Amino acid sequence: MRVAPTSLPLPRLGLGAPRDPLTLACGGHRAPPRLKRTGPDAEVFTALVYACRSGGLLDESIAAHQHAQRLDPALGTSVMHTHFVMNRHEDVIATTGDVKGYVWALSLAALDRGNEALPSLTSNWSLFKAARLHIEGRRSETIDALKDAMQSFGDPEGSYYAARHLAHLGERRVALDALAQSVRGGYTCAAGLERDPWFDAIRSEREFTALAAISRERYESAAAAFRDAGGPRLLR
């Protein structure tokens, strides 16, 4: 499996999104002439896997992955993360490529197969380390690793992962801080906030309710922007 090149800007969904599907798929930039002639290629659909997920459009993210795979079966996408926020752990494992990291390990653990992940979790990068410590049952060290991870995240999706994990471990205040960091960064996963049992420990907190409401509003805006830009037509 090869990884998609990073030359294509990642699309952003929300208010003011482009009004035609190719421009939307190219991150708001004018679509190259070849795409105007031939339509989206696998790289465009690969970018949409992340863009749709970041706007909370999870089914659309999976559809974009399917289109990318149809056009280039060797091209890896980030769809395992989409499956992860939907708690589809078997699908996470099935779609994980050569890099087997946090979501793959946590999915194995959710299926009582955590020990299978340990030989691959040799990196001391914070989330990999947190996954390893979690599987080994070392709660306090897992919390420390997740707190360390929060200091280095440039990706709001990582903050979301830390938030749900810290909430599950009973670290309410830090979990809320991580979730606020994720929402401030523009990550929207309304369905996850509403359904993921790992958030149950903080679900009654007023701050959580406010953040979930922001995510729901952003999701609805993203869904409208995607629809108005012709996104559903792109993914048919």
* Chain segment 186-206, per-residue pLDDT in tens: 999 999 999 999 999 999 999
Mean pLDDT of 98-127: 94
Residue 98's pLDDT is what?
84
In the predicted model, what is the mean pLDDT of the chain? 85
Domain spans of the chain?
1-77+222-236
Taking 50 as the threshold, does the pLDDT of residue 212 lie above it?
yes
* pLDDT-derived band at 127, boundaries 50, 70, 90: very high
| Close Cβ partners of 19 (under 8 Å, ≥ 6 residues apart) | 228, 229, 230
Contact 217, 9 (CB under 8 A): no
Residue 39's pLDDT is what?
55
Taking 50 as the threshold, does the pLDDT of residue 5 lie above it?
no
By mean pLDDT, which of 60-64, 124-128, 144-148 is the weakest? Answer: 124-128
Taking 80 as the threshold, does the pLDDT of residue 133 lie above it?
yes
pTM for this structure?
0.85
26 alpha carbon, distance to own chain's centre: 19
Q: Which is more confidently placed, 88 or 13?
A: 88
* Chain segment 155-188, per-residue pLDDT in tens: 899 999 999 999 999 999 999 999 999 999 999 9
Residue 134's pLDDT is what?
98
Measured distance CA(218)–CA(11) in Å, rounded: 15
Instruction: Give me 70's structure tokens.
Output: 């149809």
208 alpha carbon, distance to own chain's centre: 19
Three-state secondary structure readout of the chain? CEECCCCCCCCCCCCCCCCCHHHHHCCCCCCCHHHHHHCCCHHHHHHHHHHHHHCCCHHHHHHHHHHHHHHCCCEECCHHHHHHHCCCHHHHHHHCCCCCCHHHHHHHHHCCCHHHCHHHCCCCCHHHHHHHHHHCCCHHHHHHHHHHHHHHCCCHHHHHHHHHHHHHCCCHHHHHHHHHHHHHCCCCCHHHHHHCHHHHHHCCCHHHHHHHHHHHHHHHHHHHHHHHCCHHHHCC
Taking 60 as the threshold, does the pLDDT of residue 34 lie above it?
no
Q: Which is more confidently placed, 86 or 2?
A: 86
Instruction: Give me 101's structure tokens.
Output: 């990291």
* pLDDT-derived band at 1, boundaries 50, 70, 90: low
Backbone angles phi, psi at 28, to 5 degrees: 90, -5
